[in-house]
C-alpha cells in the first residue's frame, strides 16, 4: 500500500502527521501549508497513492477551486482523509466532503482528531503524541484531553510538549522536522532527543530576550499593541502576546517586513474576540492581502504600504466590538 501524509510544520502538525504515519505504516511524509496544499495534492496525485492523509491544514478559500481540481486528479480508489480543526464554512466543508473523508471539529487539535479517528490501529504511545499536539495548540481543555491527562502525570506531558514547542522555534522546518516526526513515531520522547533538548533550552533563553526586547519596543494603536521587525526571526506568536501584555492591550501583533510585504501574527489577551473573523473582515478591504487562522491566533500578509492602514482598521474594529 502506498500512503502519503501531508501535514503542517508546527507541533500539532508534526504530532498529527506522526499519528498518520503510525496509522499508515510506510507512508511518505511531506510538510505543507494552506497556501501550498493545492500544489502538493496535485503533485502527489501523479503517484496514484492508495491513501492520502491531510492534517492540520486550514482551508484557504482563495485556493478552493484549485484544491478541488487537485483532488479530482486522484484515482477514484484513493481514499483521502482530511482532518482539521481550523474554522471552515459549511459550504466548503460540504463540497470537500464529496471527495474526502472529512473529520473536522473546532475545539480539539488536529492530533487529537487523528488519534480519535485511527485509535483502533495505533500503538499505545500515539496517545502521548495527541496530548503533545493539544498542549502545543492550546487545545488542552477538551473532554478527551482532560480524561487522558489522568492517565499520566500531566506536568511531565507539559514538559515534553514544551520541549517540542520551544525547539521548533529554532528548527528551520522541513529536514530536521521530518527527522523529528520519524523519531516521534518510534516512541522516542522529546526529553531523550539531545538535539531537541539543546534547541529547546536555546529557544527558551532567546524567548526571554524577546520578552525584554518587546518590553522596550512595543507600540500601541488604540486597543492594539504591536512590535515591528524584531532583530530575531521567529518567535512571532510569542512576541505578539508580549506586545499585548506590555501595552496593556486586548490584541497583540508581531509584524515583520520584507522588501514589499509585511507579514503579521496576531494574538488576543484576556479577550473573546474572534480574531479569524475580525481578520477576514479587515482583510477584505485590501487587495493582495491574505490570512486566516483560529479565533485565538491568526496570521496575515499584505503589501508593505498597507500596514499602517491595516493596523488602524484592526484597532477600529476591536474598539467598535468592545464598546
The Cβ-side half-sphere exposure at 109, using a 13 Å CA radius, reads 29
Distance of CA 24 to the CA centre of its chain: 22
Interacting residues with Mn ion (CB under 5 A): 12, 56, 110, 137
Choice between 56 and 306, CB closer to Mn ion:
56
Q: Which three cell numbers stand for residue 268?
A: 488576543
What's the CA angle centered on 147, arms 142 and 153, to 5 degrees?
110
Residue nearest to Mn ion as judged by C-beta position: 12
Q: Length of the chain, please?
A: 323
* Alpha carbons 164 and 152: distance in angstroms, whole number: 18
Choice between 56 and 140, CB closer to Mn ion:
56
Measure the CA dihedral 71/72/74/77, to 10°.
Answer: 110
Q: SS3 of 302, please?
A: strand
Q: How far is the CB of 111 from Mn ion (least distance, A)?
A: 8
**CB 224, CB 265: distance < 8 Å:** no
**CB 292, CB 264: distance < 8 Å:** no
* Alpha carbons 252 and 245: distance in angstroms, whole number: 8
Q: How far is the CB of 229 from Mn ion (least distance, A)?
A: 27
Choice between 110 and 214, CB closer to Mn ion:
110
Choice between 14 and 203, CB closer to Mn ion:
14
Choice between 78 and 276, CB closer to Mn ion:
276
* Alpha carbons 277 and 137: distance in angstroms, whole number: 19
Q: How far is the CB of 208 from Mn ion (least distance, A)?
A: 26
Q: How far is the CB of 114 from Mn ion (least distance, A)?
A: 11
Choice between 14 and 163, CB closer to Mn ion:
14
Q: How far is the CB of 16 from Mn ion (least distance, A)?
A: 7
Q: How far is the CB of 85 from Mn ion (least distance, A)?
A: 6
Amino acid at each position: 500500500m502506498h500512503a502519503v501524509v501531508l501535514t503542517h510544520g508546527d507541533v500539532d502538525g508534526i504530532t498529527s502527521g506522526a499519528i498518520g504515519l503510525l496509522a499508515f505504516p510506510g507512508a511518505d511524509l511531506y510538510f505543507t501549508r494552506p497556501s501550498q496544499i493545492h500544489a502538493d495534492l496535485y503533485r502527489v496525485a501523479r503517484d496514484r497513492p492508495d491513501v492520502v492523509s491531510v492534517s492540520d491544514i486550514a482551508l484557504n478559500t482563495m485556493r478552493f477551486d484549485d484544491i478541488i481540481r487537485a483532488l479530482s486528479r486522484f484515482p477514484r480508489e484513493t481514499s483521502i482523509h482530511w482532518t482539521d480543526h481550523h474554522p471552515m464554512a459549511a459550504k466548503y466543508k460540504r463540497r470537500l466532503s464529496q471527495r474526502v473523508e472529512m473529520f473536522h471539529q473546532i475545539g480539539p487539535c488536529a492530533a487529537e482528531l487523528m488519534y480519535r479517528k485511527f485509535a483502533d490501529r495505533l500503538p499505545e504511545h500515539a496517545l502521548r503524541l495527541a496530548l503533545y499536539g493539544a498542549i502545543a495548540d492550546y487545545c488542552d481543555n477538551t473532554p478527551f484531553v482532560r480524561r487522558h491527562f489522568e492517565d499520566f502525570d500531566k506536568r511531565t506531558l507539559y514538559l515534553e510538549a514544551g520541549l517540542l514547542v520551544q525547539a521548533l522555534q529554532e528548527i528551520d522546518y522541513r529536514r530536521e522536522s521530518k527527522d523529528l516526526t520519524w523519531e516521534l513515531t518510534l516512541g522516542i520522547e522529546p526529553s531523550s532527543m539531545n538535539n531537541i533538548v539543546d534547541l529547546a533550552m536555546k529557544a527558551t533563553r532567546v524567548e526571554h530576550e524577546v520578552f525584554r526586547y518587546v518590553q522596550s519596543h512595543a507600540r500601541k494603536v488604540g486597543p492594539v499593541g504591536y512590535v515591528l521587525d524584531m532583530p530575531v526571526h521567529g518567535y512571532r506568536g510569542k512576541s505578539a502576546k508580549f506586545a499585548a501584555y506590555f501595552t496593556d492591550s486586548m490584541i497583540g501583533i508581531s509584524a515583520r517586513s520584507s522588501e514589499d510585504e509585511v507579514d503579521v501574527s496576531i494574538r488576543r489577551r484576556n479577550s473573546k474576540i474572534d480574531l479569524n473573523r475580525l481578520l477576514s473582515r479587515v482583510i477584505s478591504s485590501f487587495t493582495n492581502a491574505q490570512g486566516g487562522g483560529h479565533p485565538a491566533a491568526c496570521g496575515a500578509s499584505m503589501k508593505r504600504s498597507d500596514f499602517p492602514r491595516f493596523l488602524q482598521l484592526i484597532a477600529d474594529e476591536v474598539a467598535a466590538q468592545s464598546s
